[in-house]
Amino acid sequence: MNSANTTTNPIYDPASFSIETPAITTLKNIILSWIYNGATGGFVLGPFRTGKTRAIEIITDLLVNRLGEKVHSHRITMPRRDRNTVATVFRELCKSLGIITKRSATSDEMSSLVLHRFSELAALNSTRQVVLFVDEMHRLTLPQIEVFAEVYDQLREAKFNICIVFVGNYEASLSLLGLIKKKRNELIRGRFFTNRHNFKGITSKKQLRKCLQQLDLTKMPDGSMSLTQHFVSKNLGSDWQLSSIAAEIWNVFDDDFKRPLKLSSWPMQYFVSAIRILLSDYLPKYDGEDLDSLEEMIYQSIKASGVEPCILEKTA
């Protein structure tokens, strides 16, 4: 491994490192349109490992109303439980909102606390709007989804507006979506499941280039140089850009992985992992001229990223 200081390089912190990809920008614009149009909710589906959760984390602080005022948003991740109860939803809402409750608290008591907190957040802008993202929606049952309908109704009664966006894996959500389509669940479907967005990873060379340009612009914490320069300035020069080999990276991915594995896109988790390996382990050894050597470096980086097991996860 290259001797670069891994303790200060942001790319070595997977939990915190992120870039605004074209897919994230598109998602942000979709959610903004829902806010502008007063939508009651919607749902976002995509394959595993495409970066849906990270995308939500990034856009959380970027949401505004038509007046340009900040619209506060909140994310709850539904856990796996042996018993999927209504109380579980309220308890998780309280936990994620930082509300301390007694273990003996009833659903009604927790509901009151949750509604009060969302009312406070919605009151911070002129349009009285707030957004709630419900991640891992495929872990929910219909009675649990009805909890969110209750939250919406209660806030609406108090003249506050909440947009509830459910996020989940496509195939894992099929069973739940099948139930929601039934006529008896028309109220839930009409409220939360008419607006849909399909989220994917990197799907084209153009998108890949934009992601690499974001990496080229990312600075080291001390601001002294870019993340790319940190690794390759000695052997490739201080002006060399990772985006300059976008075509080579895409061609290797497309020919050796995307087509053979029948992947609909390059999941962000595996993309970032591949680029991390390429930057730290291979490019510091590249002379800038041997194309065959470069393609082999790219191939080995993508292979080591773990993308191949994606064949076990049929993508949408």
Domain boundaries, the chain: 22-198, 202-312
Reply yes or no on whether the pLDDT at 103 is more than 90: no
Higher pLDDT, 84 or 153: 153
125-152 tens-digit pLDDT: 999 999 999 999 999 999 999 999 999 9
End-to-end C-alpha distance for the chain, whole angstroms: 36
The token pair at 66 is 């038509």
Say if residues 199 and 50 touch (Cβ distance below 8 Å): yes
Say if residues 170 and 47 touch (Cβ distance below 8 Å): yes
Amino acid at 6: T
The CB density around residue 122, as the number of other CB atoms within 10 Å, is 21
Residue 310: predicted pLDDT: 47
- CB within 8 Å of 207: residues ≥ 6 apart: 21, 22, 23
Can you tell me the distance from the alpha carbon of 316 to that of 262, in angstroms, rounded to the nearest whole number? 10
Assigned CATH for 22-198 = 3.40.50.300
Count of residues making up the chain:
316
The token pair at 42 is 């919607």
pTM of the predicted structure, to 2 decimals: 0.86
Residue 315 pLDDT grade (very low, low, confident, very high; cuts 50, 70, 90): very low
The token pair at 260 is 């053979």
Lowest mean pLDDT among 72-86, 101-115, 158-172, 300-314: 300-314
Residue 311: predicted pLDDT: 46
Q: Determine phi and psi for 112, rounding to 5 degrees.
A: -60, -40
Residue 6: predicted pLDDT: 46
Q: Which of 118, 138, 139 minimizes the C-alpha distance to 44?
A: 138
Higher pLDDT, 289 or 23: 23
Reply yes or no on whether the pLDDT at 15 is more than 80: no
What percent of the chain stands above pLDDT 70?
94
Reduced DSSP (H G I as helix, E B as strand, rest coil) percent helix, strand, coil of the chain, to 5:
55, 10, 35
Residue 13: predicted pLDDT: 81
186-204 tens-digit pLDDT: 999 999 999 999 999 999 9
Say if residues 264 and 47 touch (Cβ distance below 8 Å): yes
Q: Which of 128, 2, 5 minimizes the C-alpha distance to 65?
A: 128
Three-state DSSP state, 198: strand
Say if residues 52 and 199 touch (Cβ distance below 8 Å): yes
Residue 309: predicted pLDDT: 67
Residue 227: predicted pLDDT: 87
Q: Which of 192, 201, 147 minimizes the C-alpha distance to 173?
A: 192
CA dihedral 133→134→137→140, nearest 10 degrees, is: -160
Residue 7: predicted pLDDT: 47
Q: DSSP labels for 82-116?
A: SS--HHHHHHHHHHHTT----TT--HHHHHHHHHH
Reply yes or no on whether the pLDDT at 3 is more than 60: no
Adjacent-strand bridge partners of 64: 70
Can you tell me the distance from the alpha carbon of 115 to that of 33, in angstroms, rounded to the nearest whole number? 24
Q: What is the mean pLDDT of the chain?
A: 90
209-260 tens-digit pLDDT: 999 999 999 888 887 888 899 899 888 888 899 999 999 999 999 999 999 9
In the chain, DSSP finds a helix count (H) and a strand count (E) of 13, 5
Residue 85: predicted pLDDT: 87
Higher pLDDT, 73 or 8: 73
Give me the mean pLDDT over the 15-26 stretch.
85
